[in-house]
Amino acid sequence: MASNKSSPLLSIVIPAYNEAANFRSGVLQPALDYMRGQKYAWEVIFVDDGSTDDTHNLLSGLAKKDSRIQVLKISHGGKAAAVTAGMLAAGGDYVLFTDFDQSTPLYQVGKFLAAHRRGADVVIGHRTQTQNDTLIRRIRSWGFVILVQTVALPGITDTQCGFKSFTRPAAQKIFRSLIACRPVGTITGGYMGAFDVEALFLARKFGYTIVEVPVSWIKILSDRLNIWKEPIKMALDTLKVRLWDILGKYDQVHSG
């Protein structure tokens, strides 16, 4: 059994909600093989977001075989809740969150670590090579980008790539300060919202250096998110981020 859990250079947070089928298809194997080939210390934190299938048992089996892998289980709260739990539990110098389906392959993390070493506090993926994307999704994404750049994050071209890394101090401060995209009430299905927008808005507000790095990306087909309801929710969250800032709510959180 591999063991090297003290002071990892990199923590990788992977949210998981009903991912048993993806697990059994082998989507994680290339990522884990890549990490096991690295010379630096690392950890992978899977956050089971209240899965109702066999996800927890499957991930726990992985963790038993490698002490660098751990599994957190939370009540179902959606991706924002799962990512936040993992980011706050991480002990690495740098903390990256990535999607379970590996639509952005983990081997690209080397470019992110290099950007951090050059002084970046936050590094985000900018999707320049995409596969399997649909026309309706591109149109929807284009409209959301315009909204985000107008309302919250001028100059950032891709807020939604699920591949972002932070220095540990930045991750702790930013994810403890999320308020607009925290889940409220009973959450059903693959709830996501615009927590990426809020995290990057806070990164900029707190004065952290944000660097975009080009990544390749593959659209993994899924019916988990409603193609109309989720974009509306994300748009409302984005407007809420700006409103909360105008009302001084982030200053209250930071001062507290």
Confidence check: pLDDT of 253 > 80: no
Give residue-wise pLDDT tens across range 226-245: 555 777 888 899 999 999 99
* Segment among 38-47, 80-89, 205-214, 246-255 with least mean pLDDT: 246-255
Residue 158 identity: D
Region 127-155: what's the mean pLDDT? 73
Residue 138 pLDDT grade (very low, low, confident, very high; cuts 50, 70, 90): low
Residue 133's pLDDT is 58
Residue of 134, 148, 113 whose CA lies nearest to 9: 113
Residue 141's pLDDT is 67
Residue 97: what are its φ and ψ, rounded to 5°?
-110, 145
Tell me the CATH number at 132.
3.90.550.10
**Domain annotation covers residue 112:** yes
For 203, the domain range is 10-255
Confidence check: pLDDT of 183 > 80: no
Residue 48 identity: D
**Domain annotation covers residue 4:** no
User: What pairing do the DSSP bridges indicate for beta strands 42-49 and 94-98?
Assistant: unpaired
Query: Percent of the chain at pLDDT above 90?
Result: 66
Secondary structure element (H or E) that encloses residue 151, with its range: helix 135-151
Inter-residue contact 217 to 176 (CB < 8 Å): no
| Assigned token pair, 175 | 């994810």
User: What pairing do the DSSP bridges indicate for beta strands 69-74 and 42-49?
Assistant: parallel
**Domain annotation covers residue 125:** yes
**Domain annotation covers residue 1:** no
Residue 167 pLDDT grade (very low, low, confident, very high; cuts 50, 70, 90): very high
Q: How many domains are there within the chain?
A: 1
Inter-residue contact 55 to 43 (CB < 8 Å): no
Residue 81 pLDDT grade (very low, low, confident, very high; cuts 50, 70, 90): very high
Mean pLDDT (the chain, rounded): 88
Residue 234's pLDDT is 86
**Domain annotation covers residue 5:** no
64 Cβ contact partners less than 8 Å away, ≥ 6 residues apart: none
**Domain annotation covers residue 187:** yes
**Domain annotation covers residue 227:** yes
User: Distance between CA 66 and CA 43 in Å, rounded?
Assistant: 10
Inter-residue contact 242 to 151 (CB < 8 Å): yes
3-state secondary structure of 160: coil
Residue 1's pLDDT is 37
- The Cα-based distances of 136 to 127, 140, 143, 189, 228 in angstroms read 17, 6, 11, 22, 11
**Domain annotation covers residue 3:** no
